[in-house]
Structure 1
């Protein structure tokens, strides 16, 4: 082959590589990054609610940009779907859905991070269309607040120890729903935390094949930090753990604020009995604000 031919082939190769790099960059979803002053709302099912109990993801986001003032509100509800099927309490899901949108609006978020698809996947491949249609509606209703959106795909399920059934058999269907979430994020040019494509751990991270405990969340969030390219504290830095403990305390107080144990009597169909006590709900607000101040102080050191 002559020198010119070699040069032409080499030029072609470089061009193809460059085109491939550009395509990859174009196809890659934007990374999730917080802005100064962000008011973040987490919305979703069991994965989101349990994150509020352990606080690893919120701590990772808090410490990634210590110079930015950010607040978080966790509105996760175990077993929930994009139809708000867990939130109706004694009312139909549509009423719970409306209450959810009203609460989100009241919180005035600038960013809503949504994690759905896990429970919806039980409808199988035939249910994907309905799932996406309702997710689009939820996105539109949330964006009416002016908030940006970010998404989380469903995560893989694991094969737990006997005698629990093999939850990993659902992963084929979960993959379809994860792809649907990626497509939804792409249509809205929104960041997506791809839990489904995180590296497979060497040991099980879930307690029962489906749900993560503290260890599972800690390992999972480390993988998310790498995937998203977030700045990270040193593993030996105790500051992150101190902040996480405060995050958990704050989330517990906010949980009592928006989901009081006797909600049926305070704001539900039996409020005619004890509804006068609903004025006490707002007393959690200064407690939450105080703990957020302590988190901010720790984070700035």
Structure 2
């Protein structure tokens, strides 16, 4: 967190996220579908243990700066009004705007018009008094034939990225660039160059947190004194990511590591001296619970703000079932309870590490 704050101060800008923030996250499919994995949001939660950060994912497939995809049965103008009203209703302290991907598919991209539309949206959202964070979208991932070469689209995305930086500088907004989102991950994180695979958000989580400027949350090697004392880590591990555990002074034979009484790894004395990779036990179980709670909260919020039968509840057929609209706010206490649990789970619990000899 300190590294993030220092970088922001050095640039004279507010950081993308600070403890206590209420984030409204706008954008297209890449934003919207993150609710199913929760991996990017998980990384934010574990980077700020007990930080009481609330994330309202308002992503919408096909979204643009005009909000046309949000229009429903209305006109494109209604879509823009919906985009603004949906965001303002969240009472955000910071708004992340992740636009440019869909606009880049227009072969006749007018970069001046793109900027004008962006400025119009920022002006419409300015009464919120929220900080603006302009997120530069990632390039389209290159995928095998028959999918087309993304070179032309990525060329337009590069122009869009430059324009976003220029706009941010003129408005005093922070910028988060996802231009290197695919670096460090194996190929094939998307199904078609745009939509993530089920594991794509997890594979790119490290690049995402780096783009946000978050301080490293990679667990350091644990030098185990084998005194049975409880240990509290600074951050939770990421699910599936191992941690190196070392200890010395063991006699010959096989020894197993217990975390809160659960045997999680076994090796001989020489291996423990060099270090053994551990990826299960209480800390990882807590991390998995945190991620699961984030996904559950996201789905509850999704049904809160985008109920499946919206036309019957609030639209032109509300005369048929509009009386059920009163049930939609009943999601709120469940969402608030889940967010309190997310905040609790983001704080690493104390755990007891012990080494026990199992054979000579």
Q: Under a length normalisation based on structure 2, what TM-score does the superposition of the two structures give?
A: 0.72
Q: Secondary structure at the match of 2:201?
A: helix
Q: Structure 1's 127 and 292: CA in aligned 2 closer, same or farther, altered over 3 A?
A: same
Match of 1:260 among 269, 294, 307: 307
Deviations for 1:58-101, whole angstroms, at most 9, x for unmatched residues? 11111111142111111100001000010001001211221222
TM-score w.r.t. the length of structure 1 is 0.85
State the Cα distance separating 1:186 from its structure 2 match.
2.0
Listed as ranges, the gaps of 5+ residues in structure 1 are 1-23
The count of corresponding residues between Structure 1 and Structure 2 is 278
Cα distance per residue 1:128-149 (max 9 Å; x no partner): 1111111111111112111111
Alpha-carbon distance between aligned partners in 1 of 2:150 and 2:304, rounded to the nearest angstrom: 34
**Could you say if the C-alpha distance between residues 31 and 158 of structure 1 is closer, same or farther in structure 2, counting changes exceeding 3 Å?**
farther
Deviations 1:104-148 (A, max 9, x none): 222110011110000011224642111111111111111211111
Residue number in structure 1 paired with 2:193: 209
1:55 and 2:102 aligned: no
Distance 1:102 1:26, change over 3 A: closer
Aligned equivalents of 1:103, 1:47: Cα separation in 2? 18
Q: C-alpha separation between the residues in 2 aligned to 1:46 and 1:264?
A: 22
1:142 counterpart residue number: 125
- Contact (CA 8 Å) 1:158, 1:168: kept in 2 or not? no
Shift of 1:299: 1.0
Asked if 1:269 corresponds to 2:252, the answer is: no
> Of 51, 59, 79, which aligns to 1:68?
51
RMSD of equivalent CA atoms: 2.3
244-253 or 210-219, which deviates more = 210-219
Q: Which of 230, 245, 268 matches 2:214? A: 230
Which residue is equivalent to 1:182?
165
Residues 264 and 25 (structure 1), Cα distance of their counterparts in 2 relative to 1, 3 Å cut:
closer
Per-residue CA deviations over 1:235-287 (Å, capped at 9, x if unaligned) read: 33524332222111111111000111110111111112211111011111111
Q: Distance in 2 between matches of 1:245 and 1:187?
A: 40
Q: Which has the higher strand share?
A: 2
Q: How does 1:1-301 map to 2 (within 5 A)?
A: 30=13, 32-124=15-107, 126-198=109-181, 200=183, 201-231=185-215, 232=217, 233=235, 234=237, 235-236=241-242, 238=284, 239-301=286-348
**Tell me, which stretches of 5 or more residues in structure 2 are unaligned?**
1-6, 218-234, 243-282, 349-360
- Greater CA drift, 190-199 or 277-286: 190-199
